Amino acid sequence: MQENPQDDTRDDLMDHLNDIGVVSVLAERHRLEEKVGKSRARRSLGVIDIDGGTIYWANVMKEDLSKDSPERWWVHFGVPNEHKIPKEESVRIKTKRTKAFPAFGSNAEVKWQGQDQGLGLVKALTANDEISQLATDLGNIEVRSMSGEFRGWSIQFDQKVEPTIDHWETLEELAEILLSAAERF
């Protein structure tokens, strides 16, 4: 029987964040935030607490290898918010990247699509060149309002990420835009 080695993706992300100057520590397991992004096939590798900004934590999710699909990872960055967004007015928007030449080639354009409940987030995020570059560099982004046990916003990447300090500043800018939008509820 082959032993299943521990996945170090969470530890690697924490080390990387500390390397770029974002103070972060591994959190105790079984925290409430581990449920953000969880599904039947996905499991949390744990939460990283982040100090000193608008983004307070990161939850690393993994879907294990199966006969039909390879291993996959997601990273959710959490932005707590005191303004409660009603569940029936939840926001869920994501990037859609188009290629310069179909099927292969470099990403040419990033657009946001989805339900922003009239907050103007789709338009604002599409127009922000730094946030578009963030999606081009790090992968697809999905933003969701959370109204359950955790209140606030989840910024999800659909793969492992290693942000630079410039990426991190843009991610913090995205979080500030989300918090400003939530004040309208």
Q: How far apart are CA 58 and CA 133, in angstroms?
A: 21
Closest CA to 184 of 81, 55, 114, 115: 81
Residues 6+ away with beta carbon under 8 Å from 26: 10, 11, 14, 46, 47, 48, 49
Which pLDDT belongs to residue 84? 74
Which pLDDT belongs to residue 74? 95
- In this structure, what DSSP letter does residue 29 have? S
Q: What is the dihedral of CA 35, 172, 48, 73, to 10 degrees?
A: 60
Give domain limits for the chain.
9-182
> What are the tokens at 124?
């604002």
Contact between 94 and 141 (Cβ < 8 Å): yes
Closest CA to 155 of 22, 46, 28, 36: 36
Residue pLDDT tens, the chain, 185 long = 344 458 899 999 999 999 999 999 999 999 989 988 777 888 999 999 999 899 999 999 998 877 778 899 999 999 999 877 778 889 999 998 776 666 565 656 888 999 999 999 999 999 999 999 999 999 999 999 998 778 899 999 999 999 999 999 999 999 999 999 877 76
Which pLDDT belongs to residue 102? 60
Q: Is 184 helix (H, G, I), strand (E, B) or coil?
A: coil
Which pLDDT belongs to residue 38? 79
